[in-house]
Amino acid sequence: MVAARRLAGKAPTIGYHSCEPSVSYQMNPVMQAFMEETNMRLFPSLTRLMLFFWVALSGISTVHAKGEPVVLSIYGPVAAGAAQATDSANKGKASGPLLAAFDMKFLKSLPQRTFQSKTPWYKDSVTFTGPLLRDVLAAAKAKGEWMHAVALDEYQAKIPFSDAQEFDVILAHQINGETLTPKNKGPLFVVYPYDSKPELQSVRFYERSIWQLKALRIE
């Protein structure tokens, strides 16, 4: 039923995803408690220095300007022993160690790809613009065999990691020059160059074309 809704092109008209953190890193409970106890406003220089070293040591790609919302979070694999518990506690949500948190400004700073294609969701051919998925994954230093793409409404699609290398898949943020919003499949839409190869014009690839993308969980 969900796949049918997706192919029918009926995007849910929900509000913008707001549960992402207002900063581009996740603080562990010990650090968070310490920061609250000492009060960041009393020691601004020391606080900034501590955060710099913590983020540097964490290995997280933190491309997220102050005041800019995170539009895409990329998570690494869940440890084998913790997979079942994590999935049970976060059913339908991306989980695992945070690899990257990107804002739209960064995604637009990557090389952009534009192509025109026919799709099941639009009557006429449309023009999509966005960064290549493989470039986004490279920026996050993400590696794996599968990606679980998660939408704002928690719809998920399983995408082979190899698709990003084999095809010029993009994370479209514009259609016909217009910025995508949650009401029209935004802010990000996984789009394949369907007209480039007959094999891409199939339900298998249409179902991987998730819109309202908010997160990728790597396996």
**Selection from 186, 195, 198, 187 nearest residue 115 by Cα:** 195
pLDDT category at 62 given cuts 50, 70, 90 is low
pLDDT category at 64 given cuts 50, 70, 90 is low
Higher per-residue confidence, 45 vs 207: 207
Q: Residue 96 has what pLDDT?
A: 83
The chain-wide mean pLDDT, for the chain, equals 77
Interatomic CA distance for residues 172 and 167, integer angstroms = 14
Interatomic CA distance for residues 6 and 11, integer angstroms = 7
Quick one: tokens of 20? 């992402």
The alpha carbon of 22 is separated from its chain's Cα centroid by a whole number of angstroms, namely 16
pLDDT category at 172 given cuts 50, 70, 90 is very high
SS3 of residue 3 by DSSP: helix
Q: Residue 147 has what pLDDT?
A: 96
Q: Residue 77 has what pLDDT?
A: 87
Whether residue 34 is predicted with pLDDT greater than 80 in this model: the reply is no
SS3 of residue 75 by DSSP: strand
Separation in Å, CA 36 to CA 50, 66, 156:
14, 20, 36
Whether residue 139 is predicted with pLDDT greater than 50 in this model: the reply is yes
Omega of the bond leading into 187 within 30 degrees of 0 (cis): yes
Residue 13 burial by CB count (10 A; 0-12/13-18/19+): exposed, middle or buried? exposed
Q: Residue 66 has what pLDDT?
A: 66
**Selection from 133, 93, 126 nearest residue 111 by Cα:** 133
Residue labelled with tokens 């935004």: 186
Q: Which domains does the chain have, with CATH numbers?
A: 2-8+70-218 (3.90.420.10)
Q: Residue 145 has what pLDDT?
A: 96
- Count of other CB atoms within 10 angstroms of residue 122: 12
